[in-house]
Amino acid sequence: MDAELFGRAADDPPATGAEHRAGRLERADGGTILLDAVGDLSAETQAKLLGVLQHGRIYPVGSGDARTVDTRIIASSDLDLESLVERAAFRRDLFYRLNVMPIYLPPLRERPDDIVALANHFLKRSCAISDRGKLKFTASALAALREHSWPGNVRELANAVERAVVAADSAIGAQHLGLGTDLRDQARDAYHGESLKEAVRGYKRRFIHGALESHGWNQTTTARSLAIQRTYLSRLIKELEISNR
C-alpha cells in the first residue's frame, strides 16, 4: 500500500539501472485523488499521509529524500471514523485534516428509491461485460432487492446483480440474487408492530410497484406477467395508492 501511494525509490544499488517509480499521490500532483476505505489504513500509513497533508511532501519507500506534491485529497470510508478516533484506531490529527468538508452518504437501506435504479445500472453493465443480451428483473427480484437490508451497501448490490447475471438463464428472479438470510433475522426484520392486514397490504404494494417498474409501468404487460386481469391490476393500483412519482 505504501509503495502504491507514495512511490518506490530506485533499487539499490543504482547500478541496476532501475528508476524511481512514482506513487499515486505523486502522479496526481496538481490534481485530485480519491482515497477509498481510508479507515483501513495502517498506523504507519496514516502518519505518512498526515505528512502529505501538513507539509506537501512524500517519502517514497526506500528513500529518505522528500518529493514535493500539491495534491488535493478526497477520502471516503464505510467505517465510523469518529468512533475509530475515540478507540485510538485512527489518528485524531489526520481525522481533523480530512474532515474539512464532510459529506454523509446514508446507507443503501435508507435510500430505497436508489436501489432499483442502481440495480438496473449494474444489470446493464454486467450484461454488456458478459455478453448476455438484455436481461430483466422479475417482480419477485425487485421485491427482494427492496426488502434486503444491504449491510454491504452498493458493493453488495453490485456483486448480487453480477452473480444473478451469471446464474440466470433468462429473466432474473429473486432466487438468482442469493440474498437469503436466516429465518429468525427475516422474521425480526419483517415485524414492525403492524397488524397482519397492514403487513399484507404493504407487501402487495411493494410487489406490484416492483412489477410495474419492471415492465415500464405498462399495465397490460404487468398484468400478464402476474397472471391477473388488467382491470384487477388497475383496481389494486388505486386501492394500494401506487404511483410512479
pTM, two decimals, is 0.55
Which CATH number is 108-239 given? 1.10.8.60
CB neighbours (10 Å) of residue 161?
26
What's residue 91's pLDDT? 97
Asked if pLDDT for residue 12 goes beyond 70, the answer is no
Cell output for 76: 471516503
**For residue 53, what are the CA distances in angstroms to 70, 93, 108, 242?**
9, 10, 31, 51
- Radius of gyration in angstroms for the set of CA atoms belonging to the chain, rounded to a whole number: 25
C-alpha cell at 45: 500509513
The pLDDT of residue 200 is above 90:
no
Q: Where in the chain is the domain with CATH 1.10.8.60?
A: 108-239
Q: CA end-to-end span of the chain, whole Å?
A: 46
* Residues 46-60, mean pLDDT to the nearest whole number: 94
CATH number (3.40.50.2300, 3.90.550.10, 3.30.565.10, 3.40.50.300) of 2-98 reads 3.40.50.300
139 or 181, greater pLDDT: 139
CB 186 within 8 Å of CB 192? no
Strand bridging mode 67-68 / 57-58: antiparallel
- Strand residue runs (E) in the chain: 32-35, 57-58, 67-68, 72-75
In whole angstroms, give the CA distance from residue 50 to residue 111: 34
Q: Please state, in angstroms and rounded to a whole number, the distance separating the CA atoms of residues 141 and 174.
A: 4
pLDDT in tens, 68-121: 999 999 999 988 899 899 999 999 999 999 999 999 888 888 888 899 999 999
Q: CA separation (Å) from 88 to 82, 102, 236?
A: 10, 20, 55
Domain with CATH 3.40.50.300 in the chain: 2-98
